[in-house]
Structure 1
Amino acid sequence: MPGRTPIAPPEEDPNVGILCASPPCFMHELDPYCIGPVGWEEVRAWRRAERRRLIACRAAVPLAERRARDLLITGHLRAALPDLAGRHIGFYWPFKGEYDPRPLVRALHQAGARLALPVVVERAQPMLFRPWWPGVRMMKGIWDIPVPAEGRPVSPDMLLVPLVGFDARGYRLGHGGGYYDRTLAAMPQRPRAIGIGFESLRLPSIHPQPHDIPMDLIVTEHGVREAIA
């Protein structure tokens, strides 16, 4: 794309992991490359660069700050969620510095909610959800993320969805596999989708495409927001 320079991937060191100070998390506010991709190939290249940048910035947050931020998000979610006894909630196992929903879902389990984790059974296909409870037998799934080893698939009423990036309209940037968009599109009855991320991951736009499905709510350490249509 003439006149625009893609964002370079962050430096990596096999001993210390990805290095990224906090200022680059706000490069999207200044870099003109974040403003103008118009075709799908340009958008896809821009998303790859943004994905690397945002994951690196997320991973660079100190552990104590990450835990404090998670506690704030958990409080916002508890306040926003209705009585969930008997309802099916799909959640995710945390990956690469994502908000950790496990303390929340353990509490929801004790309150009578039914829980499920997404399982990739075939690449580039919709995911299915298997029941989860504390102590269920787990195995490694895609990207070595733990998933329930067995169980009849269930249809969640609500999904907690991790965000790599997001915009005010509720569109999300994920890890690039397209699994959540594909899964939501295939569900006969769409669950309420709650995207969970951090304020540093906010983008002016992810430049949504026809296959992108917005979240119903976005929750960060700053609170709960309805997606802007």
Structure 2
Amino acid sequence: MTSDDTKKAKDGTFSSPPCLTQEINPTYSDPLVVDPNKAIDVARWRKAKREQLRAARKTLSVEEHASVSAQLAGQLESVLHSRFEGAKGQILSMYWPIKGEPDLRPLMIKLHDAGVIIALPLVETKAAPLVFRLWTPETKMVRGDWNIPVPPADAEQLTPDISLAPLVGWDNKGYRLGYGGGYFDRTLAALAGSPLKIGVGYTSAKLATIYPQPHDIAMDLIVTEDEILAITPSS
């Protein structure tokens, strides 16, 4: 690859189409080895798939979105009761819904009332791990990065025991396709205590693979409106 090709690859353009070997061989997945050309192919494939999945979920009607969100909330409650006896007194990081994500805010209120400690993630420093701040129904939210509502700076900072991660896409090995900023992977790698990692998304967002790279961190569970998938290291 020439220096000019490298520059074009970084800004998302190419002098010629990339090989996209993963499209030819969908079983490709070697997270321990990084080939620069394949890494570029994976990044380009992910960008296109991310846009496709985000466009698809925008087609949900208001009623469909509300129904799926309620089903997902029920699945998550089931997980918390079966694995944590309801998770009372434990710190659960959730998220404020954006860009067509399932709306779990009613569940946030319900869990808070049941004694679960709710934390919300936010960007405090660019390209650094997320931080988590205490949320209650009385919290006066402020606008954070990407204009997402977040708890204010004086809210208590917490470390989650259980962490929810939104999924744009996901696969059977527990790997998630996010928004491309790397914040959740960076955060989960840095969190002390190894919280239970739960990916939350739509059944329709399931992929054969996301072509995991060394920085990608697998979830412990994938929860959709239709299933609760436990991930094992050998899966």
TM above 0.5: yes
Cα pair distance change 1:55/1:33, threshold 3 Å: farther
Aligned-pair CA distance for 1:33:
6.5
Cα pair distance change 1:121/1:33, threshold 3 Å: farther
Q: Distance in 2 between matches of 1:132 and 1:64?
A: 27
Match of residue 216, structure 2, among 206, 212, 215: 212
Cα pair distance change 1:219/1:34, threshold 3 Å: farther
C-alpha offsets along residues 130-186 of structure 1, whole Å, 9 cap, x if unaligned?
100012121111111100012231101001111000000000000111001000111
Aligned 8 A contact 2:92 2:117 in 1: yes
Aligned 8 A contact 2:197 2:221 in 1: yes
Q: Distance in 1 between matches of 2:70 and 2:45?
A: 32
Match of residue 184 from structure 2 = 180
Q: Distance in 2 between matches of 1:3 and 1:212?
A: 22
Match of residue 24 from structure 1 = none
Match of residue 22 from structure 1 = none
Match of residue 146, structure 1, among 136, 146, 149: 149
Query: How many residue pairs get matched?
Result: 204
Match of residue 158 from structure 1 = 162
Match of residue 3 from structure 2 = none
Match of residue 198 from structure 1 = 202
Match of residue 118, structure 1, among 121, 127, 139: 121
Identical counterparts, % of pairs: 43
Q: Distance in 1 between matches of 2:206 and 2:57?
A: 12
Aligned 8 A contact 1:34 1:46 in 2: no
Cα pair distance change 1:110/1:47, threshold 3 Å: same
Aligned 8 A contact 2:170 2:209 in 1: yes
Which runs of no fewer than 5 residues in structure 1 stay unpaired? Answer: 5-30
C-alpha offsets along residues 164-217 of structure 1, whole Å, 9 cap, x if unaligned?
000000000001110010001111211111111111100000000010001110
Match of residue 224, structure 1, among 225, 228, 232: 228
Cα pair distance change 1:34/1:163, threshold 3 Å: farther
Match of residue 127, structure 1, among 124, 127, 130: 130
Q: Distance in 2 between matches of 1:77 and 1:97?
A: 18
Aligned-pair CA distance for 1:53:
0.5
Cα pair distance change 1:227/1:132, threshold 3 Å: same
Structure exhibiting the larger radius of gyration computed from Cα positions = 2
Which runs of no fewer than 5 residues in structure 2 stay unpaired? Answer: 1-16, 30-36
RMSD (Å) for aligned C-alpha atoms: 2.0
Runs of 4+ in 1 over 2 A off after TM superposition: 1-4, 31-38
- Which residue identity is paired with 2:72? I
C-alpha offsets along residues 6-43 of structure 1, whole Å, 9 cap, x if unaligned?
xxxxxxxxxxxxxxxxxxxxxxxxx9468369711110
Mapping of 1:1-229 within 5 angstroms? 1=17, 32=23, 35=26, 39-81=38-80, 82=84, 83-150=86-153, 151-228=155-232, 229=235
- Which residue identity is paired with 2:87? L
Q: Distance in 2 between matches of 1:103 and 1:112?
A: 15
